[in-house]
Amino acid sequence: MPRRIYRHPPIEEALCEIRFSEDSPWDLTIPGRVHGAVRGDYPAVEQQLLETGLLLPGGQQAPVRRGLGPIRLKTTDGKALLSLAPNLLSVHVLREYPGWEVFRQRVEGALDAYLRVAQPRAVSRIGVRYVNRIVARSANADPAVYFRLAHLAVPGTLPGTTTFLHRDELAYPDGAKLLLTTATVESPSPESTAFLLDLDMVAEGLALPVPEVLARVDELRTRERDAFESLVTDSAREEFDAEPV
């Protein structure tokens, strides 16, 4: 499918997540050593806190358990970040999306640093995910005008779709999957309607040699792009080329 370039792509966040095999080395020094290798690009560091609690019989709350979550390394402006957890690396870029070439360079640089520090044995899962917010320039816009989605079609005796939340899992012959989420979301103004189009292209159950990772990332990105173009209409594309609402 021909590649399209949009003036204002609807991408809120793009991310590439790479999970390494469970037999790969891991210790608590790895995030700090990775940060040392990428500090020039990602000077800021923070660690997420995780909280879990159970609701006991009778409505009582069990004591909340707190633990350390992933470590996040951020650029100065917060528009790009790395997330590190045991045998997991993810690379994120936020709006304004800088383009695939720049994003891929960030993935390659982060992966190279991680490989030099952690020396994982293999890759078990790769995900390339694009979270899009598409804004239509009218209130209560018909989503069927912007998306080619069968679940948006309703019988003519019923009113049109106003809000929805739908999730699909689509399997490819080679085992890759597209986790597709579509929904209505908060719009920037009363005169507009906003839709979520979240495409997560995943290859899992792998025992992929480390040198083959980037080629697989490229393949998943191509599939994600083709899926996106198959799902949106020309009316949606007109919005991507117009000035933001």
pLDDT one-digit tens code per residue, 19-53:
999 999 999 899 999 999 999 999 999 876 555 55
pLDDT mean over 188-211: 95
Contact residues for 111 (Cβ-Cβ < 8 A; gap 6+): 18, 89, 91, 213, 214
Q: What is the pTM of this model?
A: 0.88
Question: Quick one: pLDDT at residue 154?
Answer: 58
Which two three-digit tokens encode residue 222?
């191509």
Task: Give the C-alpha separation, 191 to 7, whole Å.
Answer: 22
The reported pLDDT for the residue numbered 237 is: 93
- Model confidence over 92-116: pLDDT tens digits? 999 999 999 999 999 999 999 999 9
The answer to whether residues 111 and 105 touch, using CB atoms and an 8 Å cutoff, is: no
Give the residue-averaged pLDDT of 218-229: 97
Give the pLDDT score at 183: 93
CA dihedral 60, 63, 64, 67 (to 10 degrees): -160
**Dist. CA 137–CA 186, nearest whole Å:** 13
Q: Please report which confidence band the pLDDT of residue 150 belongs to, taking 50, 70 and 90 as the band edges.
A: confident
The answer to whether residue 156 scores a pLDDT higher than 60 is no
